[in-house]
Copies of this chain bind each other. A is one copy, B any other.
């Protein structure tokens, strides 16, 4: 069964938005052994939609589309599928009730426009949308299975997992498996990491090992393809062990694991609490920790000391320290962490100071210079870095430095 993915939206063909749905769906299908041969992207235009679906159902055994299911006049997918199938659109009371109920739960009246979302091509199966108002559509067009999903990524992801994946299994997908294992590192550059792994990353190595860098996180990706999941995993396991052995503490996690996930897990295991004193990161560390389910058990909160006076007034950093070393210094980062740890009665605290740019740099302290601090009951420490990067990247990487200090302390406490 060869698959085609169709993305619908003028915001995509004009280049206003980047299409990430096609990639996401391609990965899910690859994992199930369903090869994707085509991605097609079209504007919210009736003729282009009709042609794209007609071509797709002729050449593919499975077509997954996203977009065009909203309540507005440029949402055409319902109409297009009905026309391609040569059937009428019919009203589905149950879907209508679900949509109305969704508005009621939010204390709002359903606008008349949303009524069109309860119409479906005759004979199609309605796929409930648990995250939004647009139901999806599952139907057969000739020899081809077609699933139409909403374009909002979170709604599309949830609908695929809940309603499409089981149907693909039922159709016999999953005959061979492609598995990707990602090993994530922080604390060294891409080429430093690659130098230790040149024998694995060379072209032709089985399984294939690739290296990518994203916002100072370096990831090794191991790709294995085999008839069964077990065989693919058997290819991956020894390579993963070698990588972990050679990289040691640089490795913080696997697959989608981020530094904050690891920190929350380690805090939970040690029944420790963490607080944050954020200068240059201005809330980013807190926001990332709070993304992790279960963070509330170990993350106390913190202080956003964006204005320098906050460092003194709230965190008790001595003014003399700022005068002597400057606010962007190891001494101030460590004093902020310790002040925060005491103020919030936490076991550990991390802190950040720095110059995110684009302005504010000097010869001594250039844009990109940052310090991350850590305080625990027995002391404080800090690390500095000088990032050559945009403002947002400097902030993000400094947040990672601080989280990494907490991680390293939790796996191997400083004296």
With A73-B202, A106-B388, A304-B304 known, 18 other A-B pairs at CB within 8 A are A12-B39, A14-B178, A22-B41, A35-B43, A38-B40, A71-B190, A72-B191, A106-B385, A111-B189, A152-B213, A154-B390, A281-B290, A283-B283, A283-B284, A286-B306, A293-B358, A296-B306, A303-B304
- A319 interfacial contact with B, CB 8 Å: no
Q: Are A289 and B295 in contact (CB under 8 A)?
A: no
Contact with B along A21-34 (1 / 0, CB 8 A): 01111111110000
Chain A count of residues within 8 A CB distance of the other chain? 117
Q: In this complex, what residue of B is CB-closest to A202?
A: B73
Q: Are B289 and A282 in contact (CB under 8 A)?
A: yes
Which residues of B are found within 8 Å of A271, using beta-carbon distances?
Answer: none
With A192-B111, A300-B306 given, is the CB distance from A287 to B284 under 8 Å? Answer: yes
With A306-B295, A306-B299 given, is the CB distance from A42 to B38 under 8 Å? Answer: yes
With A310-B300, A386-B105 given, is the CB distance from A30 to B45 under 8 Å? Answer: no
Q: Are B37 and A42 in contact (CB under 8 A)?
A: yes
CA distance A173 to B26 in the complex (A): 34
Contact with B along A266-293 (1 / 0, CB 8 A): 0000000000101011111111011101
Interface residues of A (CB under 8 A from B): 7, 10-20, 22-30, 35-45, 48, 51-52, 55, 59, 70-74, 102, 105-108, 111-114, 131-132, 152, 154, 178, 180, 189-192, 194-195, 198, 201-203, 210-213, 221, 223, 276, 278, 280-287, 289-291, 293, 295-296, 299-307, 309-310, 314, 343-344, 356, 358-359, 366, 385-393, 395
